[in-house]
Amino acid sequence: MRWQGRRQSGNVEDRRRSGGRGLAIGGGIGGVGGIVILVLYLLLGGNPSEITQSLQGEGTATSTEAGELSEKDKEMGEFVSVVLADIEDVWNQQFRKAGEEYREPRLVLFTGQVESACGYNSAAVGPFYCPGDENVYLDLAFFEDMQRELNAPGDFALAYVIAHEVGHHVQNLLGINDQVTTQQARLSERDANQLTVRMELQADFLAGVWAYYARQSTDFLDSADIEEGINAAGAVGDDRIMQQTQGYVVPDAFTHGTSEQRIRWFRKGLETGDLSQGDTFSAARL
């Protein structure tokens, strides 16, 4: 990605210097290992409150001391800010075209653990969007784990994650989040999970829409970047994660979609840039 020297967003809040408390996970998940898999499994839009509850009694607190950021940390913060700025440009333009105003979310960088309107959450939840405060939360430590454990390298893989989480913000602004939450309260666990999957796939589609316009309007992205995004989408499919961590797949427990589904919906947004194509809630669309 050609990101150096580009505009940075003013909506990044960096809490990394303050340190924090994280969870050291022991047992319960085999394969790649505790916290890495929890981070990767809930990488794109996990429910922070549910996973935090599941970790209670399973982990022990470990402290992260406050300190100055390294040059690498600073560079990663700048990269995130540039990506967010480009995402803001795209969604401001799309909302204006529809006669609406886009309310920009804040992206909070943290280390170990963070407090949000969705609760006090460990980095084990992975990157997440909180509708209560309209913030995206991101612990950058997961990025190296993502590259190493699931073979999803490249800076665009991280950009895709950020665009996906901002996609949840777009859903929130459009009222989709509230509609789905209301419907889920009346459904069985299995059917409620299906709606969660559809939400996640739509966020993948919206990430693709951003990439479509980013590629059309600037020299920000090239074909190699797009391949990194497609690879990242496939790497975090429920079926692939389940097969790697437990050796078998349970479709009824899916919350994010299969690798094939995630790639397909990201591609649809990327290839069309057409928001009308993103209805993942129609019965036969998955």
Task: Judge whether 52 lies within some domain.
Answer: yes
- 282 assigned to some structural domain: no
Give the residue, 74 or 221, on which the prediction is more confident: 74
| Tokens 């074909």, residue located | 223
Which pLDDT value is given to residue 49? 44
Note whether residue 18 is domain-resident.
Answer: yes
What's residue 18's pLDDT?
54
**Mean of all residue pLDDT scores within the chain:** 78
Going by the DSSP 8-state scheme, the letter that residue 60 receives in this structure is: E
User: Distance between CA atoms of 145 and 108, rounded to whole angstroms?
Assistant: 20
Q: Can you give the pLDDT at residue 244?
A: 72
Record the pTM.
0.79
| 175 inside domain | yes
Which residue bears the tokens 């690798």? 259
The verdict on residue 125 lying in a domain is yes
Q: What share of the chain is helix, strand, coil (3-state, %, to 5)?
A: 55, 10, 35
Query: How far from the centroid of its chain's Cα atoms is residue 77's Cα?
Result: 16
Could you list the residue range(s) of the whole structural domain that residue 270 is in? 12-277
Distance (Å, rounded) from C-alpha 60 to C-alpha 55?
9
Res. 261: pLDDT tops 60:
yes
Residue-wise pLDDT tens digits, 13-64: 999 875 443 333 222 222 233 333 444 444 444 544 444 444 343 443 333 4
Bigger pLDDT: 20 vs 230: 230
Question: Which residue has 């994650």 as its token pair?
Answer: 161
What token pair was written down for 159? 């950009």
What single-letter DSSP state applies at residue 70?
P
Banded pLDDT at 76 (limits 50, 70, 90): confident
The domain total for the chain is 1
- Is residue 36 situated within a structural domain? yes
- Is residue 224, in this structure, part of any structural domain at all? yes
Say if 75 falls within a structural domain.
Answer: yes
